[in-house]
Chains A and B, each alone.
Chain A
C-alpha cells in the first residue's frame, strides 16, 4: 500500500470495517446521521425552505462526485455535464410532455446515467490528469451542445417548468410539500452512496483506489468496477440536477458550465474527500456563502478561491476530515 495516490492521501484508511453500529454506519456516523435527520426535520421551520432545497440538491451532487473521487480516486472534471443534462431533461419532460415530477427526475437521472456510460467508457481508459482532461473535454462538448440545441433554449434556459403533482396527486406548488420531496430524494441518494461504499463492491473500489495493479492481480476486472462507479456517480448527479430544476422551475447553462464542475470539486474538498458526511457539509458551506454573500457580486468567486487555497494548504482533510481526525473516528 505504499503507492497511495497523493490525491487521497488525506483520507483516513478505510480498510478496517467497524463492527459496531447498524447498516454499515459506525457509532460516530450514527450520531452524525441523527444530527442530519434532526436538521432535515427542523430546518424548514427555521430557515427559508427554498434555500434548503438548493442546499440538498448540491449536497447530493457533491455526494455523487465524492463517490468517484473519494472512493475510486478518479477526479472527474466534467460532472456539471451530468448535473446540467439531468436538469434539462427533467425540465423538458415536466414542461413539454407534462410528466409528473418523480418520473421527470428519474428521466433526468437516466439521461445523466446514459451520458455517464459513454463518457465513462472513454475516460476510464486513462488515469490521473488525462482522465480529468477527457472528462472535461466531454463535458465541454455537452455544454456546447446545450448552447446550440433548440430544446434547451440557449441562454434563456428552459423556463417555467411546472412543479406538478407528485404521483399525480400531491401538488408541489407549496414550498413545504416540495421540501419534503427534496429532503427524501437527498436522503435516499445519500444513503445509497453510503450503502455502495460499504458494500463488497465498495470494498473493491477502495482497493482499486489504493493499488490498482494489485486489485487486477487479485483477479478483479478493475475497468468494469470503475465504469460502474462512474455511471452511478453520473446518475446521482443527474438526479440532483433534475431535482434542482423542478424546485426552481428553470434549467439553464449555469448548471452545465465547467465552473459548476469546479464548484463541486470545491464543495467536496472543503467538506472532506472520502468522508461520508464531508460533501454534505462542504455543499452547505459553499451554498450558504453564495447565498448570503450574493450582494458582493463577483467577489464571491474570489472568496471561494481564497477558501479553496486555504483549505488545500491548511486543512487538506476538509472540515469533516479534520473533525474526524480530531475525534479519532470515521465520519
Chain B
C-alpha cells in the first residue's frame, strides 16, 4: 500500500509541475499587437472579429520593413476586471500594443495598465471622451470617435430640427454617462432642455419596455438613446412596438452600420446618425472595402474595425520610423512619434493626432435610407452633413487633459 501511495503522490507532483506551460520567450524583432474586444456579447457585431480582420489587413498593407508583426486576439466579455487582467498578462508576456477595446469601462481600466507598463493603448471601439480628457495618457491614442463627436453632430442636428426637450435612456456605465453628459451639454447650450433620464444595467438588459414607458410618460419631444449596438437596436424595436415614434423623435446617438443592418431599413429609415467612416464614402474607402472583403465575412467594415485599420497602420509607420528596439522599449515614445507624424490611411484619409491623444478627422451625419432608395444590401446611408476635422472634436483646451496643461 505504501508503494502505491508514494506512486500516486509522485505522479501527482510530476503532473502538477511537468504540465506547466513555460513563460513565452521574448523576441526582440517581433511587434505583437493584441486586439481585445467583445467576441461574444452585444458589441460583437460592431467590434468583434471585424476588428481582427481589419488589423490583419493593416499589417498586410503596411508590408514588411525589417520586422515581423504578430496579431493576437482576446475576448474581454465587457468586464473591466477581465480586460485588465488580460492586458496585464499580455504586456508582461511581450505584447507591445493593445488595440480596439470597445466598452468604455474596460478601456479606462486598460488605459491605466498601459501607462503603468509603458506600453501602447490604441483605442478605436470605446466612446468615452474622458480617454482624452481627465484620463488622458501619454501612452494612448483614441482614434475613431468619442461621445463629444457624436453629441455635437447628431445631438445638435436634432435640436436644430425642433427637438428641444430630451429624455435619455442610458447605458449605466462610463460610456452611457459620458454620452448623456456630452449630449445634454449641447442640448442645453442650444436652448433645449433635458427633462429626465433612465439608466439601464449593462450588459444584462434586453427588455427596454419599462424605460420606454418612462420616456413616454415624460412628455419629452426627443428620446435620446445613450446606448450602443444591440441595446440600441432592441430599444428602437421596442419603441416602435409602443408607437413611440409617432410622438417622439428617436435620437440613436451611437449607431453603426451593423446595427442599421440588423434593425432593417423598414424600422430604421429616417434615423440620423454620426460616423467618421462609411464604406461608400469615397474611392479610397471603397478600395479598402474591396480588399478586405474576403477576410471580413463579405461585409463592409463598421467604423470600429476601420479605426483599427487606420491606427494600426499609423502605429506601424511610427515603429518603422523609430526602430523596433526603441519601440518595444517605450510605448510613450511610439505614441509621441505617432503624434509627431501626420496620418494618412485609406479609411480616414489625411489627419493628425493631438497632444491629448485625440485623432482628428471629419465626422459625417448620415440619414438611414428608406427601403426604396437602397441600391444594394449594404447601401444604407445618405450623407446629410459633414463637420470639418478641426471642429468635429472637443477643443483641446476644454478637455481637462493633464498632458495639455503642462
Contact = CB atoms under 8 A, between A and B. Distances in A.
A35 B75 contact: no
B85 A323 contact: no
A251 B88 CA distance: 15
State the main secondary structure of chain B at its contact with A. helix
A254 B78 CA distance: 11
A157 B5 CA distance: 48
Contacts of B93: 48
B399 to A, nearest CB: 19
A248 B84 contact: yes
Interface string A230-249: 00000000000000000011
B84 A297 contact: no
Interface stretch (B8-16, B157-165, B262-270, B345-353): B8-16
Given A250-B81, A254-B82, A297-B75, A47 B23 contact: yes
A312 B173 CA distance: 38
For A31, A54, A250, A327, which residue has the most chain B Cβ atoms within 10 angstroms?
A: A250
A50 B89 contact: yes
Contact of A248 (B4, B16, B88, B202): B88
Contact of A159 (B9, B16, B112): B112
Interface of B: 1, 4-5, 8-9, 12-13, 16-17, 20-23, 39-40, 73-75, 77, 79-82, 84-86, 88-89, 92-93, 104-105, 108-109, 112-113, 116, 172-174, 201-202
A159 B109 contact: yes
B202 A157 contact: no
A48 B39 contact: no
Contacts of B40: 297-298
A97 interface: no
Given A48-B92, A155-B105, A327-B8, A294 B86 contact: yes
Contact of B89 (A48, A147, A252): A48
A250 B80 contact: yes
Nearest to A51: B89
The 6 closest A-B pairs by CB, nearest first: A155-B173, A297-B40, A156-B105, A297-B75, A252-B81, A298-B40
A326 B79 contact: no
A173 to B, nearest CB: 8
Interface in A247-305: 248-252, 254-255, 292, 294-295, 297-298
Contact of A156 (B22, B80, B82, B116): B80
Contacts of B20: 46-47
Given A50-B89, A157-B105, A295 B75 contact: yes
